[in-house]
Each structure stands twice: as structure tokens, then as C-alpha cells.
Structure 1
């Protein structure tokens, strides 16, 4: 009888150990696998550095975003900068889908809102983000016309009859390569001689090869009193515009 009791106790101990091991294994399997989250370092940039980066030779390597309100942007912004208000940025990230690995430079008045914007970008998979010195901290040369990406420029001109679409590339290049449908050709060095084709009560939408010459024309028109000028920062060499002869 004593032997049977010992065997029974031994069996209970074995079953208890087995149950404990089973529970432990189940708990281990239930634990989610540990993942490593890569933290993107947000860089800082002075106004002098941004001005150098925004030169004709280097501007196409980055995307500059003014994260202030549309009213502040329209009152004066850094050339080649598009406008995306920080309060709307998270809801508009899909518009920046093609720029995940492009160096993005954000700026505002003081660096506070652009810092918030930089964090939003870094937390959403953008790999190269910089917060630049604000327009109230550095004396940038500001412009008042609108700068937009190639895709936003295309959306603007599609079916819009209240726009004068202008290709400012040389006439010879336009003849060889064609223009965006509906555009007129006014070469960048002939603008003042053809102002009669550019009514001030219309929106003037400008493009070229890379956004450089069209920006020059935008500044020229701004100095002549034009209020509604839009420049494509990505020209026909950078964005997939359809050209027709």
C-alpha cells in the first residue's frame, strides 16, 4: 500500500512539472517577437547653409517645405519651397510618397513648427530630415509667387481654363521636344517683349527643364506686379509631364 502511495505522489509531481513547463512554453510563444525600430536623426541647418543648398546647382537634390500657414507662405517664402502647413502634414504625407529617401528640409518662423514637422516625417519613414533656421532668425531673400511640385502643378493645370500655361524653355528645344498640351512658349529671355500674352487677371503657370529658368521668370513677373504666379519646381527633365508637338 505504501509503495502505491509513493508512486501516486510521484505521478502527481510529474504531472505538475509537465503542466508548469507547458504553461511556460505557451507564455513564451505568446510573447511578440522583439523588433528593432530605427531612429532617424533629425539634422539642423543654419540659414547660410540652406541658402547655399538652395543654389541653382544644388536645389534639385532636396525638397524644401515651408510648414507655416498658407497666409504666411504667400506673404514671403524661400524660393523653391513648397507649402505644407504643419497642422495638415500628417494627413498629406501621401503627397510626399515619392520623397521618402529625398533629403527634406523643413522651416518655419523660429524652428519650433518645423521641428514638429521634422519629427512627423522622421516617425513616418522619411529617412533624411533636416530642421532649418527660420525666416525670423535669418535674412533669407523671400518671394511671393507659389512653388509647387510637378504632380501638384499637373493637378493645377488639368482642365483649368483660368490659367495661362507657359513653357519658358528656348523655342528650338520646344520645337524638338514639344510642350505640355495647352501651353504657350515664351522663352525666358523674351518675357518682357510678350507681356501682352500674360494678363494680370489670370494665374500664370510656369515651367521649364528643372524649375530654374521658370523661377527666374516668376521673380521677374512678381517685380512687374503680377500677383498670381505659380512655378513648377520640377520641370520636364524631372517630372513625367506629357509633351505634345
Structure 2
């Protein structure tokens, strides 16, 4: 009887040990599963964070633009105010003939001039060259630097644009060039000219551009700047002067309606 009790006691101890071991292993597995799940969740969060960050830094898509659409925009005095057109060819190619309201920013200098385009970060920028190759590179550069609406237009060898030979500058460039100019042509109304104007400025009506004939310098390479309210009247004056053989004529795209000038 004593042996039987001892045997039963031993069997109970062994059974209890087995249960204890089983519970320990089960607890360990549960802990491991929880840790793995936590690691998975953390990894998932990190991956999601990286995806969101990549989404934030993703470049905007460069759009294409036909030559016909660009020419139509240039011919519309109101629509041309909604975009900045950039000729990324060399200064020599630009001088030989360019789209009417385009400014010149050669591809090899564009990266260093991005700050000048900051006001256009959320507006439309249209680029072109001869074939679309250089302007495509320039458009990609702008898109990668956060410019939202960048368009690559047909080049001058792909579309028969109405090309002009005077240059275009921004209002800031006018302020830098005004002191070295040989002549500034103010095409605003006489009443506004009389209120205030730049030194070296003469006033002419857009309807009487022939009045300029007696005011133009003899030197065909003289620096001549034109400006008005929005760049439209002054564009006509610049074209009139360039057609007379003057080679250093610059129209100001930013008029007094768009920029507050300090005339002195």
C-alpha cells in the first residue's frame, strides 16, 4: 500500500512538471509572436513613412505643349500674363529670333538661376529650344526642384513661330539696367508719365510710334529699354525699334500694373 501511494505521488509530480514545462514553452512562444508582430508593425510604419515621404518629394509631371498652343498664348495679351515662356538656347540663338514674350535662360545657366523663378513656383512655366531636347532637360530640372506646372513646347525647328529679335526682361532686370541704358521708352499714357518716370525716359503713344524716329540714338548698338503697364504696348515699341536695325533693345514684361517701381 505504501509503495502504491509513493508511486501515485511520483506520477503526480511528473504530471505537474510536464504541465509546468508546457505552460512555459507556450508562454515563450506567445511572447515571441508578440515581439514579431510588434517588429512587423514597426517595420510597416517605417515603410509607410518612407512611402509618404517619397510621395511628398515626387517631381511634378512635365507636360508637352504644341507650337500652335504656345503661339496662340503669345498672341493673346491676357493669356500671355498667365505664363512665363523661357528660351533655353544660347544668347546668340535667342538674338537671331525668339518667341515674342520669351526670356532667355540658357540651359547651362538655369540651375544657378532658379531663385529668379521662385515667384513662378506655382504658376505656368513654358520652355522651348530648337528641337525640344534641351528644353526637356530644363523642364525636368524645374520639376525636380518643386515647380508645379512645367511644360515643354515644340522647338523653333519644329514649329513656324512668329519670331522677334528684341529681347525681353523682367522688372527686376529693368531696375538693374536702367542706369546704363542710353534710352528708356515709356509707352504709358502721358498723364502717368508726367506723374513720374525714369531718368533717360521719353514718352510716346503706342498709336504714334513714328514719334520715336527723332528720339532714337544714332548708335544702332545703344542699349534701349521699353516699358508700359503690362508689357503689351512696350512690346510694340520694342519691335518697332528693332525693325529699324537696333540690336540691343529690351522690352520689360513686368509693367507698372504688376510691379511697383522706384523711378529714381
The normalised TM-score by structure 2 is 0.78
Aligned in 2, Cα 1:195/1:114: closer, same or farther, shift over 3 Å?
same
More helix by share: 2
Bigger mean CA offset, 60-69 vs 160-169: 160-169
| 1:143 maps to 2:179 | no
Match of residue 61 from structure 1: 82
Structure 1 residue aligned with 2:186: 167
Q: Paired residue for 2:214, among 181, 188, 193? A: 193
Partner deviation per Cα, 1:139-166 (whole Å, 9 max, x = no partner): 2232222211122222333xx3454333
SS in structure 2 at match of 1:129: strand
Partner of 1:230, secondary structure, is: strand
Secondary structure in 1 matching 2:131: coil
CA-atom RMSD, angstroms? 2.5
- Residue deviations 1:12-52, cap 9 Å, x none? 33443343334334333433523244743503212x33222
- Give the Cα separation in 2 of the matches to 1:163 and 1:194: 11
Assess, with a 3 A threshold, how the Cα gap between structure 1 residues 137 and 5 changes in structure 2: closer, same or farther.
closer
Q: CA deviation at 1:80?
A: 1.2
Instruction: State the aligned residue count.
Output: 238
Query: Bigger radius of gyration, 1 or 2?
Result: 2
Change in Cα spacing, 1:24 to 1:98, as seen in structure 2 (3 Å) is same
- Alpha carbons 2:187, 2:203 under 8 Å: kept: yes
**1:209 offset after TM fit, Å?**
1.1
The separation in 1 between residues aligned to 2:118 and 2:131, in whole angstroms, is 27
1:224 to 244, 249, 255: 244
Task: Report the counterpart of residue 80 of structure 1 in structure 2.
Answer: 101
User: What runs of 5+ residues in structure 1 fail to find an aligned partner?
Assistant: none
Deviation at 1:232, TM superposition (A): 0.5
